[in-house]
């Protein structure tokens, strides 16, 4: 984690002035929390990144249009879990507009200041009577300690909630950044992740903030994959509100923004449906950082690589084969490859290595699931360029098939 930032508690409500809530409104048959609200202070700027899929939920377009029309300003985001409200025709937009108008009325805002995100089964509309009945108790539950409840209420197939908060002294003042996210399956984002939210109590111009968020997303959510599928609802919203921060501290602020985003992105990859370990691929020597990230993400997304990791099989040929189809230049004769501390290739040629020990390395990583030592690390040198990048994924297990084979039945 980048200096000068350090971890604190509180999630999205750790930054000053932010309130959040999460309740069980009855949107899910499971009876689990399913309705979440995040409220930013007056004057907040908001940067958004959204799915690039042509099949997208109406709430995605509504968020993007409102942020564009406002010049990057918003006050609140409402999240319903259980129904994606995607591919539901005109009703999808009408319901999103009704929900945000009703929420705005309860908060004393105009509808355009309220955004909405939905997650769940595609093709299933929101049970609006249930959602609308939940808005009063949701607004009443808003609290500066509501970050954890909000982080729980946005989940679907996730096994754990995903939240973080960081603090630093910048320019003689305390600055905090908080974040929460959800995602476990249908993760191969071309913008951000399934759903993610970030809060910051430093004032930053909207255009500067949007540029920071985009760069952070490229190095985090756009560098993860679980199953190669991009969602119809992918949304990442980042709010900033507070006393203006001097431009000399923007670089440090972006470092914190990136650290929060990477923590959440890795938590999603680690919690991939049926996964037993986190996979991290580091690439060096590419033409530029974007090329390095492309190679790393291609390796992380390879079903053959993911299956080999799950089987604890150090089948390095699958790794270099995936690197070769990433669509960016690389020199096969310069390839060097490591699995943990085990070097498998040098100068494009295989090296003798202790296969049982390399297999044991992966087995030990899986045994530490959800701990700090559960990462299977692959390092790849692809040339002498200055580009470097990382990507994260997970192994592919039979449990993933079972979860998704029975998802709606």
**Residue 356 pLDDT:** 96
**Residue 2 pLDDT:** 45
Task: Work out the pLDDT band at 186, boundaries 50, 70, 90.
Answer: low
Task: Work out the pLDDT band at 160, boundaries 50, 70, 90.
Answer: confident
Where along the chain do its domains lie?
A: 6-270, 278-405
Edge-to-edge strands of the sheet including 6-8? 6-8, 162-170, 173-182, 195-200, 235-240, 45-50
What does the pLDDT average to over 125-138? Answer: 97
Cβ pair 136, 105 in contact under 8 A = no
For residue 279, list its beta bridge partners. Answer: 376, 393
pLDDT digits (tens, 9 = 90+) for 328-338: 999 999 999 99
- Is the pLDDT reported for residue 141 higher than 90? yes
What does the pLDDT average to over 78-102? Answer: 95
Higher pLDDT residue, 358 or 161? 358
Higher pLDDT residue, 159 or 267? 267
- At the topology level, CATH places domain 6-270 in 3.60.70
Q: What angle do CA 327, 332, 335 make, to 5 degrees?
A: 110
**Residue 377 pLDDT:** 96
**Residue 291 pLDDT:** 96
**Residue 229 pLDDT:** 63
**Backbone dihedral region of 338: left (phi > 0), alpha (psi from -120 to 50 degrees) or beta?**
beta
- Is the pLDDT reported for residue 78 higher than 80? yes
Closest CA to 375 of 283, 278, 285: 278
What does the pLDDT average to over 137-141? Answer: 98
Distance separating alpha carbons of residues 191 and 238, to the nearest angstrom: 13
Cβ pair 99, 138 in contact under 8 A = no
Output DSSP code: residue 73.
B
Task: Work out the pLDDT band at 175, boundaries 50, 70, 90.
Answer: very high
**Residue 372 pLDDT:** 57
**Residue 188 pLDDT:** 60
Task: Work out the pLDDT band at 134, boundaries 50, 70, 90.
Answer: very high
pLDDT digits (tens, 9 = 90+) for 361-377: 999 887 665 455 789 99
- Is the pLDDT reported for residue 407 higher than 70? no
Phi and psi at residue 408, to the nearest 5°: -115, 0
Closest CA to 5 of 172, 144, 177: 177
What does the pLDDT average to over 67-72? Answer: 96
pLDDT digits (tens, 9 = 90+) for 22-66: 999 999 999 999 999 999 999 999 999 888 788 889 999 999 999
Cβ pair 180, 151 in contact under 8 A = yes
pLDDT digits (tens, 9 = 90+) for 278-305: 999 999 999 999 999 999 999 999 999 9
What does the pLDDT average to over 65-85? Answer: 96
pTM (2 d.p.): 0.88
Distance separating alpha carbons of residues 192 and 84, to the nearest angstrom: 17
User: Active-site residue numbers?
Assistant: 193
What does the pLDDT average to over 296-320? Answer: 95
The chain-wide mean pLDDT, for the chain, equals: 91
CATH 3.30.110.40 holds for 278-405? no
Task: Work out the pLDDT band at 193, boundaries 50, 70, 90.
Answer: very low
- Is the pLDDT reported for residue 17 higher than 70? yes
Q: Kindly tell me the burial class for residue 108, based on how many C-beta atoms sit within 10 Å of its own C-beta (0-12, 13-18, 19 or more).
A: exposed
């Amino acid at each position: 984690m980048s200096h000068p930032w350090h971890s604190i508690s509180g999630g999205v409500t750790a930054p000053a002035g932010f309130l959040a809530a999460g309740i069980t409104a009855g949107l899910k048959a499971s009876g689990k929390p399913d309705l979440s609200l995040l409220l930013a202070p007056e004057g907040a700027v908001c940067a958004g990144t959204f799915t690039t899929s042509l099949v997208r939920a109406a709430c995605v377009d509504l968020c993007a249009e409102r942020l564009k029309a406002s010049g990057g300003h918003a006050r609140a985001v409402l999240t319903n879990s259980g129904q994606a409200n995607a591919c539901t025709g005109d009703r999808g937009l009408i319901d999103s507009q009704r929900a945000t108008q009703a929420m705005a009325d309860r908060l004393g805002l105009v509808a355009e200041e309220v955004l909405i995100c939905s997650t769940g089964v595609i093709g299933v509309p929101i049970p609006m009577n249930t959602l609308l009945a939940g808005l009063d108790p949701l607004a009443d539950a808003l609290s500066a300690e509501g970050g954890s409840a909000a982080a729980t209420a946005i989940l679907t197939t996730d096994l754990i909630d995903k939240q973080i908060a960081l603090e630093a002294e910048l320019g003689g003042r305390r600055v905090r950044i908080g974040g929460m996210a959800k995602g476990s399956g249908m993760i191969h984002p071309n913008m951000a992740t399934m759903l993610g939210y970030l809060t910051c109590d430093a004032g930053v111009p909207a255009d500067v903030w949007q540029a920071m968020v985009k760069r952070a997303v490229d190095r985090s959510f756009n560098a993860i994959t679980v199953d190669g599928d991009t969602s119809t609802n992918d949304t990442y919203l980042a709010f900033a509100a507070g006393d203006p921060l001097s431009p000399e501290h923007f670089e440090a602020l972006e470092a914190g923004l990136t650290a929060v985003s990477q923590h959440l992105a890795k938590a999603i990859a680690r919690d991939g449906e049926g996964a037993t370990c986190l996979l991290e691929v580091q690439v060096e020597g590419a033409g530029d950082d974007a090329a390095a990230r492309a190679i790393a993400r291609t390796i992380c997304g390879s079903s053959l690589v993911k299956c080999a990791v799950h089987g604890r099989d150090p089948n390095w040929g699958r790794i270099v084969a995936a690197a070769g189809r990433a669509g960016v230049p690389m020199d096969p004769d310069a390839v060097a490859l490591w699995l943990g501390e085990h070097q498998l290739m040098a100068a494009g040629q295989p090296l003798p290595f202790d296969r049982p020990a390399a297999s044991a390395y992966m087995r030990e990583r899986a045994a530490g699931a959800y701990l700090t030592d559960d990462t299977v690390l692959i390092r790849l040198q692809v040339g002498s360029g200055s580009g470097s990048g990382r990507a994260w994924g997970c192994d592919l297990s039979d449990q993933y098939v079972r979860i998704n084979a029975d998802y709606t039945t």
